[in-house]
Amino acid sequence: MSDPIHPPTHRPLWSRSRSHSSNPSSSEPPQSRSRPIATADSNDRVDPERRPTPPRSIERIACLTVSGLDGGGSLERIGDLAPTDPVGTAEAIAATDRVTECFVLATCNRVEVYVAGRSPGDCPAALEAVRQTLSMPADASIGRLYAGTDAVAHLARLAAGLESPILGEDEIIGQLRRALEDADEAGLVDGVVGRAAEAGLRAGRACRTETGIADGSLDYGTAARDLLAAEVDSPDRIAVVGAGEVIQAAVDALRECWPAVRIDAANRTVERACNLATDDGVAVGLERVGEIVTSADGVVAATGADEPVVGADAVTEGPSAVVDLGNPPDVDPTVGDRADVAYRSLVDVQRRASARTSRREAVPEAEAVVEEHVRRFVRRERENRAEETLRALHEHAAAVRETELERARNRLRDGDADPERVLEEFATSFAGRLFGPPTDRLREAAREDDPELLRAAGELFDLPTDPTNDDDGE
């Protein structure tokens, strides 16, 4: 007898330490279609009819997303909703009685919350817990709701950069991976949501390697550089404020465009600012940001602060162009009212990037890759149902075997029993206990004229004759 069968225990793509297992689901009616709650169109870019019928585990997944692409999802509103502690927010949602998993993704352009209920019927209660935790009014008309396979497809499209203002951007897949790492360490994604996220990350990576969705330089940093270059011909000094991935991308783009430019950097931690400043530049803390802004020709800012870190007075005699990637803004918005300063906000950056068409030809191919990964995930989840049944079957067989083996060992220890007879009785008893209940159920099926169960038994055990054949052989 082989060892009991267990589901795969490979480490998920984002995992630092944990592995994922199945979560059982109970018997509530499924809900699988996305339900828009904004004025924008729902996600109709894929053909759900081509997907395999989803198992109940997938029907337990739901997602609430608010992004700058939604009709009512302004960047200001997103800034209000975005939690300062995504893991703490996810833990508060997961503490709800009917929620088993949760993770939160919060960026300057979107807030996404993925949950799993104990059953498909718990999805409305889980989404209500999300609304309450984010302090969204019950009649809020922003954002979108996705459930079941549509939630999985949305997550995969997100990882692929198909839902981003900058098509195919690379930042989002890193942000998604880190959000999952944090949730994983907190034990919040150890079931179907975790497996769906892994499938989404795989889809995102496949789109970037198999299609042209990520070809060329097209990200927030590059777009910021282009806006700055449109206003400043040959800058001598540029000040960057912040030290995250977006600023790093901007610095790389600036150096590519102007190799000799001096770059000064300001950040909460001066050590990280030092990594961005050029050899002839300076690195300061945010409390000294005015020192580098007033002497710069241009400024790029992205800190994630709750309020502006660059005051209007710092720009009085300084830069002629400011690109503010913060949400909320990192630079006093009144700077935009000045005629002598070209002020560009995050919305301007996104608008410029979305106007490019170099990657749009790859969209159909990328969407096909996403949909294929969604179908694979659905098939794997359906197979997981068999894994649970097979595990139970093997565990039952192993328990029967151990009981009968112990009985046979005891008889052999006595020394009086014939070993050959003990083996025969062991085999008979083992087979009888293993096949007794199925035998009774098949006889009952025959009495009740249930040919489907009889036919299934024939296929399952590869029987040489059709058990549903009524021919008596005459």
Task: Cite the annotated binding site for NADP(+) by residue number.
Answer: 242-247
Q: Is 321 helix (H, G, I), strand (E, B) or coil?
A: strand
Q: How far apart are CA 124 and CA 54, in angstroms?
A: 19
Contact 176, 156 (CB under 8 A): no
Q: Identify the active-site residue in 63, 108, 123, 207.
A: 108
User: How far apart, in Å, do the first and last CA atoms of the chain sit?
Assistant: 40
Q: How far apart are CA 90 and CA 86, in angstroms?
A: 6
- CA dist 370 → 80, 172, 297, 365 (Å): 31, 16, 43, 9
Length of the chain counted residue by residue: 474
Which residues fall in the annotated binding site for substrate? 107-110, 164, 169-171, 175
Q: How far apart are CA 451 and CA 468, in angstroms?
A: 6
Q: How far apart are CA 201 and CA 176, in angstroms?
A: 8
At what angle are helices 245-257 and 171-185 packed, to 10 degrees?
Answer: 150
Which residues fall in the annotated binding site? 107-110, 164, 169-171, 175, 242-247
Angle value at C-alpha 12, between 385 and 53, nearest 5 degrees:
35
Q: How far apart are CA 100 and CA 111, in angstroms?
A: 20
Q: Give the pair of three-digit tokens for residue 395.
A: 């565990």
For residue 207, indicate whether it is catalytic. Answer: no
DSSP assignment string, 95-162:
TSTTEEEEEEEE-SSEEEEEEEESSGGGHHHHHHHHHHHTT--TT---SEEEETHHHHHHHHHHHHTT
H/E stretch holding 63? strand 61-67
Order across the sheet with 110-117: list the strands: 35-36, 144-147, 61-67, 110-117, 99-106
Q: Give the pair of three-digit tokens for residue 174.
A: 């890193």
Give the residue numbers marked as catalytic.
108
